[in-house]
Amino acid sequence: GAVVSQHPSWVICKSGTSVKIECRSLDFQATTMFWYRQFPKQSLMLMATSNEGSKATYEQGVEKDKFLINHASLTLSTLTVTSAHPEDSSFYICSARLVAGSTEAFFGQGTRLTVV
């Protein structure tokens, strides 16, 4: 199956700093990638949809200036949490769509962000 690699798998940062999370599709080109956030014992919540070469589409309530998404190539999307605060501590997961029109979503292994 298609492989989506997410890096780093965990990160600890100081409050006020920025953190970048990478999501790569290793063996396929992904025109669309998705970024999710998951709190303990909660379901995945879609934050934004990232399309290669265009601006990301953010879900209602997600601050686009705080969660910067860049999808510069067909195999890489990045999520940057700017000026992180402790309440941004969460599990962030990306997924990639194999082909346009497909509902198949391959997930990365997730990134545990802890802001201290």
Q: Which residues of this protein are in contact with other proteins, per CB under 8 A?
A: 1, 4, 6, 9, 41-46, 91, 93, 95, 100-101, 103-110, 112
- Between residues 28 and 91, which has the closer beta carbon with respect to other proteins? 91
Q: How far is the CB of 108 from other proteins (least distance, A)?
A: 5
Interatomic CA distance for residues 97 and 2, integer angstroms: 10
- Between residues 66 and 112, which has the closer beta carbon with respect to other proteins? 112
Query: Residue 40 region, left (φ>0) first, then alpha (ψ -120 to 50), else beta?
Result: beta
- Between residues 73 and 109, which has the closer beta carbon with respect to other proteins? 109
CA triple 38-42-48, angle to 5 deg: 35
3-state SS, residue 92: strand
The two structure tokens encoding residue 104: 């198949």
Q: How far is the CB of 60 from other proteins (least distance, A)?
A: 13
Q: How far is the CB of 58 from other proteins (least distance, A)?
A: 14
CA triple 72-77-79, angle to 5 deg: 120
- Between residues 57 and 82, which has the closer beta carbon with respect to other proteins? 57
